[in-house]
Amino acid sequence: MKFTAKRSRLAEVSTLVGQAVAGKSTKRVYECIRLTASDQGLEIAGTDLELAARYSLTDEIQVKEAGEVVVPAQIFTGVLREIGDETVSLSSSQRKLTLETDGGKFELECEDPEQFPEIPVFPSESTCRMAAADLRALVRKTVFAAGKEAARFVLNGVRVSIEGEALRFVACDGRRLSTLCRPIELSGESAGGERVALVGLKGLQHFDRLAAEVDGAVDLAIADRFVALRTKGAEAVVRVLDGSFPNHHEIIPDEVALEATIPVGRLQSCLRQVAPFTTLESQAVVLTFSSGELRFSAGGGEGRADIRLGIDFEGDEVRIGFNPGFMLDALKNVDGESIRFGFNNSRAAARITDDAGMLYVIMPLIVE
């Protein structure tokens, strides 16, 4: 194998693929990426057995001799990022990869390509096509609400489903939930019939990175065992999680008795002002709604904060407590100038909706 490539592009792509690879594994080959040079260009592939990624580089590369090599991802990408030269030439012989630049030479011990796990390919029939920006919005506006180390394993994933001509993401960590729908173009046989999958965060974040690379559309396939994404030049396949996600329709309040429109910036500012006054044993920021006014209060033994914000609200005084972190998480990911905040009482779920159709459900804190 022998080729020359633009150093920066090669570094970018191998870093991207390298992110799919296990950081530490008992088998060294699982810490590697595979470079395959052919007449079509260079393909870089990697997997941690849950997520597989492949990227094809066709321009900015000159293949002189076809071949295949499996190199440790961290060293390879680390070297590429650090060297200053514009172009690099790589060649391999036996189990050794030589990387040459004007300034010097690196030799990397490689692994046996036979041992490298199989990288699944994107199914020939895609399920749907959608704007890359829409996919990114789905990821950004939901993933933050998924469980990080939730007691219930299924809550660590995001429920991805096709509902008619739309793709819905739902994430919930047991205390709050975020969901968003985006239009899709169904293709092939997949029309009709709901498809649902539970996808881990690492896979979705990888999808997001791939989608960030392109402007146009991306293809998505939802199969029984995996979900796959194809962009121009790249593919990623992620294995779905087993388990049944809670029924989000039951969780989301259909109607709210009280609703207020609140400017996002002001709301964030107020929460940030009072949040430092919460303590381990008194974690709530209490929102008190009254006609034309919203009060924020927090604190316990170590001081108290109490501030007011004029808002558009009519009704009797109502108090409801929240973990301010849960509210700020949502506000970081909403679009538009203001959100609508709706709730029923101090014990039931409240909801935040934004201009982009995001629906965020948050359970209150009961304050004694």
Partner 1 sequence: MSAPGPLFLHSCCPRPCRAIRAGSVGPRRIMEGPVIEKNRLKDPLASGARIRVLDPHVANKIAAGEVVERPASVVKELVENALDAHAQHVEVYLEEGGRRLIRVVDDGWGMGAQDLERTFLAHATSKLADVEDLESIATLGFRGEALASIGSIAQARIVSREADSDSGHVVENRGGKLLPVRSAGAAPGTDVSVRNLFFNTPARQKFLRTVRTEFGHVEDLLRRFALAFPEVGFRLTHNGTETLHAPPASDRRERLGALFGKALGDAVLRVDLETGEGKVEAYLAPPSITRPNARDLRFFVNGRFVRDKILHRLVRDVYRDTLHGGRYPVVFLFFDLDPTRIDVNVHPQKTEIRWRDARFLHAAVGPALRRALRNADLATRSAHELDGAGPGATPHTEGIRSAMADFFHRAAQGDDRLGEPGASRFGGPSGSGSGSGSGADRGASDAETGAFDQNPSDGLRPLRIAQFHNSWLVVETESGLAIVDQHALHERMNYDRILKRLTEGGVDSQRLLVPEEVELSAQDQALLVDHQDLLRRCGIEWSPFGPGSIAVEALPAVLPRAKAAELVHDIAGLLRARGGDADIDPRVLFHDVADTMACKASVRFGDRLNDAEARALLEESGALDASFVCPHGRPTVWRIAGTELEKRFGRR
Residues near partner 1 (CB under 8 A) are: 149, 151-152, 155, 172, 174-177, 246, 251, 279-284, 300-301, 321, 323, 347, 349, 361, 363-368
Q: DSSP per residue over 246-272, as a string?
A: --HHHHS-S--SEEEEEEHHHHHHHHH
- State which amino acid sits at residue 11: A
Output 156 or 338, the one with its CB closest to partner 1: 156
Residue 275 beta carbon to partner 1: minimum distance, rounded to whole angstroms: 14
Output 81 or 347, the one with its CB closest to partner 1: 347
Residue 342 beta carbon to partner 1: minimum distance, rounded to whole angstroms: 15
Residue 348 beta carbon to partner 1: minimum distance, rounded to whole angstroms: 8
Residue 343 beta carbon to partner 1: minimum distance, rounded to whole angstroms: 12
3-state secondary structure of 148: coil
Residue among 123, 9, 21 nearest 62 (CA): 9
Output 151 or 192, the one with its CB closest to partner 1: 151
Q: What are phi and psi of 239, to 5 degrees?
A: -75, 140
Based on the number of CB atoms within 10 Å of its own CB, is 80 exposed (0-12), middle (13-18) or buried (19 or more)?
buried
> Is 357 in contact with 180 (CB distance < 8 Å)?
yes
d(CA 269, CA 309): 10
Residue 288 beta carbon to partner 1: minimum distance, rounded to whole angstroms: 16
Output 55 or 169, the one with its CB closest to partner 1: 169
Angstrom CA distances, 204 to 51, 140, 183, 195, 198, stand at: 10, 10, 18, 17, 11
d(CA 282, CA 100): 60
Residue 368 beta carbon to partner 1: minimum distance, rounded to whole angstroms: 4
Output 94 or 244, the one with its CB closest to partner 1: 244
Output 124 or 244, the one with its CB closest to partner 1: 244
